[in-house]
Amino acid sequence: MTPDAALTNILSGVSAIGSIERVPLGEALGRIASEDITSSVRLPAFDNSAMDGFCVHADDLGGALPFRLRLQAELRAGERPDTTLRPGHAIRIMTGAMVPDGAAAVVLDEGAEVADGAVTIHRTVTAGKNIRRTGEDVQLGTTIVPAGSLLTARHLALLAVAGVGRVVVRRAPRVGVMSTGNELLEPGNEAGNGRIVEINRFFLLSMLRLTGAVVTDLGIVPDDLDSLAGAFANNRGLDLIVTSGGVAGSDADLVTAAVSAAGGNTSVCALALRPGKPIAFGSLGACRTLHLPGNPMAALVTGFLFMLPLVRMQAGLDPHNRPAIAKTAGEFHHVPRKTEFVPVRIVGPDADGIPLVEMLGKGGSARLLPLVMADGLAELPASRGSLDTGEFVPFYSFRQMGLA
């Protein structure tokens, strides 16, 4: 099965979580607005100066240069004007200060000279210049954040300025991550005698942080049916359980049997993908399950290809991973008929600014050193063999995977 077909199957029937909650702005970063948010204020809230300079009356703007005006007052940001600008006068004004009644424009400091309580204008401007008008940015009732938006610092900044204190957001998906295998030890333990320190949760938990999911670390579960089935049954209240290991189909690979024993069902796929051939997915009541292969590179690639889109779909976001375009800095050896993901390092931009990538440490789905040297993964298509130097290749940065 192709990775694309597997993704379609995995996402089939998955919908965004329906429940909503109201949270204060300070807790809304990374959440998804569940309804359009409209502004109940106008922005700017008052006419204000875009520059440091002098407010000039409409009667004076067109005067023959240079012309002199009497200084009437001075206005700083945060002050409320208590006078109206009179013809023949100027009011000194700072950037962001409220523009007084009677002012037609603001002449820049650089075009004026102050002496003896008067200002000489050397460079005038047209009416309306350098004044930020009430509501020119946002009108009453303007939709400032559309439903479905992922709330970033940019959205929160606008909401704060618009006086919005709480927002209605979708409930974040609750995702559990479990590593399976008798050989696995928690980090910090001494490996040996066939046992290894487990690492897949480092990758999967870090990737999930990108999605805003509420993540539960379900730890390491040994390869025995009762322990695995118990772990699934105890966590069926989650929206998704992701496992790694135990899916290749040997006698020791019990993950899918354990989902069945807990009352769920699964489908197993053999993918035309390297690394990441064996995967499975299923459900346990309302809880989805996704079962990734144990080899670390395979868990990483399938976590990116399938776990992230699935969680984004549950969160109410666009599920798809979008590659950037890179160019090969050398030949990329590749056997056709399987999509292959290889660690690559950016070695520089080409003459058009497109990143040039060099392949690192190909061919070992258990090899870790290339991951530390690389900037991301290149995707070599199943439809063709090796790539020559200077060919375009889809590139996924570790940053977009949550692994930078």
Contacts with ligand MOO, residue ranges (CB under 6 A): 274-277, 293, 295, 298, 365
Residue 338 near ligand LQZAQKY5 by CB under 6 A: no
Q: What is the nearest approach in angstroms of ligand MOO to the Cβ of residue 174?
A: 27
- Between 90 and 221, CB nearer to ligand LQZAQKY5: 221
Q: What is the nearest approach in angstroms of ligand LQZAQKY5 to the Cβ of residue 11?
A: 21
Q: Is 287 exposed, middle or buried (0-12, 13-18, 19+ CB in 10 A)?
A: buried
Q: How far is C-alpha 314 from the geometric centre of its chain's CA atoms?
A: 15
Q: Exactly one of 295, 314, 339, 397 binds ligand LQZAQKY5 (CB under 6 A); which one?
A: 295
357: which residues sit within 8 A by CB, 6+ positions away?
326, 327, 328, 329, 344, 345, 346, 347, 375, 376, 378, 393, 395
Residue 124 near ligand LQZAQKY5 by CB under 6 A: no
Q: Which residue shows structure tokens 């979708």?
A: 170
Distances (CA, A) of 112 to 56, 67, 115: 11, 10, 10
* Distance between CA atoms of residues 311 and 399, nearest Å: 17
Window 158-177: contact mask with ligand LQZAQKY5 (x via CB under 6 A): --------------------
Residue 179 near ligand LQZAQKY5 by CB under 6 A: yes
Q: In 10 A of CB 246, how many CB atoms?
A: 28
Asked whether the beta carbons of 321 and 308 are under 8 A apart, the reply is yes
Site for ligand LQZAQKY5 in 347-366 (CB under 6 A): 365-366
212 binds, among ligand MOO, ligand LQZAQKY5, none (CB under 5 to 8 A by kind): none
- Between 85 and 279, CB nearer to ligand MOO: 279
Q: Which residues of 179-214 are buried (b: 16+ CB within 10 A; e: fewer)?
A: bbbebbeeeeeeeeeeeeebbbbebbbbbbebbbbe
Asked whether the beta carbons of 207 and 304 are under 8 A apart, the reply is yes
Range in contact with ligand LQZAQKY5 (rule: CB under 6 A) among 21-29, 30-38, 147-155, 247-255: 247-255
Q: What is the nearest approach in angstroms of ligand MOO to the Cβ of residue 200?
A: 12
Residue 278 near ligand LQZAQKY5 by CB under 6 A: yes
Range list of H helices, 166-235:
200-208, 225-234
- Between 276 and 402, CB nearer to ligand MOO: 276
Q: How far is C-alpha 229 from the geometric centre of its chain's CA atoms?
A: 34
**Nearest-CA neighbor of 270 among 259, 260, 280?**
280
Asked whether the beta carbons of 196 and 189 are under 8 A apart, the reply is no
Provide the Cα torsion 244, 250, 255, 257; round to 10°.
170
- Between 276 and 343, CB nearer to ligand MOO: 276
How many residues in total does the chain contain?
A: 404
Q: Exactly one of 44, 245, 303, 309 binds ligand LQZAQKY5 (CB under 6 A); which one?
A: 245
Judged by CB under 6 A, the number of residues near ligand LQZAQKY5 is 24
Asked whether the beta carbons of 241 and 178 are under 8 A apart, the reply is yes
Range in contact with ligand LQZAQKY5 (rule: CB under 6 A) among 98-106, 115-123, 152-160, 294-302: 294-302
Window 181-220: contact mask with ligand LQZAQKY5 (x via CB under 6 A): x-xx-----------x-xxx--------------------
Q: What is the nearest approach in angstroms of ligand LQZAQKY5 to the Cβ of residue 326?
A: 26
Residue least distant from ligand MOO (Cβ) = 275
- Between 340 and 358, CB nearer to ligand MOO: 340
Q: What share of the chain is helix, strand, coil (3-state, %, to 5)?
A: 20, 35, 45
- Between 91 and 403, CB nearer to ligand MOO: 403
Q: What is the nearest approach in angstroms of ligand MOO to the Cβ of residue 341?
A: 10
Q: What are the residues binding ligand LQZAQKY5 (CB under 6 A)?
A: 179, 181, 183-184, 196, 198-200, 244-248, 253, 275, 277-278, 293-296, 298, 365-366
